[in-house]
């Protein structure tokens, strides 16, 4: 659990520069427990940093194409 939270925090800190031009981040939750937990932890960190976050519950076949067509702020 601590390893997952540490990884999420590190990812959010590193991606901060990449997200500097974005004010909102949308996540896709495909229903996998580990992804749900990581997304929730990252959302808390991003919210604290002032980003608007949105979590959409989507299937894998919908999520993968959205990553490539969502623009530079797609996560």
Summarize pLDDT for 22-52 with one digit per residue, the tens: 788 888 898 899 989 999 999 999 999 999 9
Q: Find, among 34, 30, 28, 25, the residue nearest to 5 by Cα.
A: 34
The per-residue pLDDT of the chain, averaged, comes to: 78
- What is the H or E stretch that residue 54 is in? strand 52-57
pLDDT at position 9, please?
60
- Is residue 53's pLDDT more than 80? yes
- Residue 10: pLDDT band (50, 70, 90) is low
Residue 31 DSSP one-character state: S
- CA gyration radius, the chain: 12
């Amino acid at each position: 659990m601590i390893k997952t939270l540490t990884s999420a925090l590190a990812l959010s800190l590193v991606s901060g520069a990449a997200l500097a031009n974005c004010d909102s981040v949308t996540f896709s939750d495909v229903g996998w427990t580990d992804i749900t937990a990581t997304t929730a932890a990252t959302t808390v960190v991003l919210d604290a940093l002032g980003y608007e976050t949105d979590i959409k519950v989507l299937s894998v076949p919908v999520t993968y194409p959205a990553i490539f067509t969502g623009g530079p702020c797609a996560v």
